[in-house]
Amino acid sequence: MNEAILEPDLPIIDPHHHLWDWRSRLPFLPAEMSHPFEAILRQSPRYLLDELLADTGSGHNVVGTVYVQCGAFYRADGPEAMQPVGETEFVNGVAAMAASGVYGATRACAGIVGHADLGLGDAVAEVLDAHLAAGGGRFRGIRHMMAHDDDSAVLGPLAHAAPNLCASPQVRSALKHFAKRQLSLDIWVVEPQLPEAVELARAFPDVQMVIDHVGTPVGLGRYSGKRDERFAGWKASMARLAELPNVHMKLGGLGMPFPGFEGMGPDVRPSSEALAQAWKPYIESCIELFGANRCMFESNFPVDRWGADYPTLWNAFKRIAAGASAEEKADLFAGTAARFYRLEGLA
């Protein structure tokens, strides 16, 4: 789509994107896939600094970004528990390149969210410290992908997480090491798991948590055609999460295939008006429940390229937020992310 950029001067911190080279073989994905997610990798087999800056420089005023783990560039050797530290080492190098100013004004990867196996329990402390040492002052937290459904058709190649991780004693032991290191937890679950996320967040009020992708409504596999009828349950879970002051919300991820929106996909390029209409019930509900000061728009690129290109996606967000005050827009597009991820000087 070639749309005029809406509100081109509005500062944006994109708090959720990835970098990868498919040659690095994201370790949790199978070699062959028959799921809509496969199209994401066909679209973007390589997404590194050049590709990111082409997107962030496509018209919107993206002043900085936060990298979120995707399993890329793990260490090839050494203890298995420490191999994810390679991702932080790689991203910190990319962040240093961006911070030099040679590549423009956008401070890419100003914050880094990595991975540690929370199943390690108390032994995760050593991994967290290694990430902090490798992150050059940019490391902010962990995402351990917890999305699970008993129907493998729902998540396809991402159906690798064990069930009930939010209640795992090992995971809860691991989280006891977060607050004293000022580390946050990104939680990716799908909508039927949101009650589990409520209990996890309630058990750790001193750990700052953020729910990725508005809790990922589901519309594939056994949920095909049922997303709308599940909306009330999704919103009830959002309301319970919003009662917990340590929980924030990322507004995005709706360009992935998992929600099952019609008229969306790599071979269909909806307008920002069409995207805004489809996504508005979820995004507006989150802002209503959490407030703009606990919500942050995210691109989730290159994954959400499945549903929209970068400038059209941010135009859609701006259309949804059109009625917000200037202060609310400042929070939704940059301020909340800057506070949550402690990005001093970016907003």
Residues 302-331 pLDDT 10s: 999 999 999 999 999 999 999 999 999 999
| Residue 86 pLDDT | 98
Model confidence at 59: pLDDT above 70: yes
User: Tell me, what amino acid is at 137?
Assistant: G
Enter the tokens of residue 134.
């490798």
Q: Which two tokens stand for residue 107?
A: 């401070």
Q: Can you point out the beta strands (E) in the chain?
A: 11-17, 20-21, 46-47, 61-68, 107-114, 139-143, 184-187, 209-211, 247-251, 295-297
pLDDT band at 32 (very low <50, low <70, confident <90, very high): low
Query: Residue 146 corresponds to which amino acid?
Result: M
3-state secondary structure of 34: coil
Angle at alpha carbon of residue 197, lines to 192 and 202, rounded to 5°: 145
What pLDDT is attached to residue 24? 59
Provide mean pLDDT across the span 234-254: 98
> C-alpha angle 313/217/2, rounded to 5°?
15
Provide φ and ψ at 310, rounded to 5°: -60, -50
Contact in structure between 303 and 16 (CB atoms under 8 Å)? no
Identify the CATH class of 11-340: alpha beta
Q: What percent of the chain has pLDDT over 90?
A: 89
pLDDT tops 90 at residue 246: yes
Domain boundaries, the chain: 11-340
Q: What Cα–Cα distance (Å) separates residue 99 from each residue in 64, 87, 103, 136, 224?
A: 10, 18, 8, 12, 44
- Name all contacts of 77-83 with Cβ < 8 Å and 24+ positions apart: 81/116, 81/117, 81/120, 81/123, 81/124, 81/126, 81/127, 82/126, 82/127, 82/130
Sign of the Cα pseudo-torsion (164, 250, 18, 225, in order): positive
Mean local confidence (pLDDT), 202-221: 98
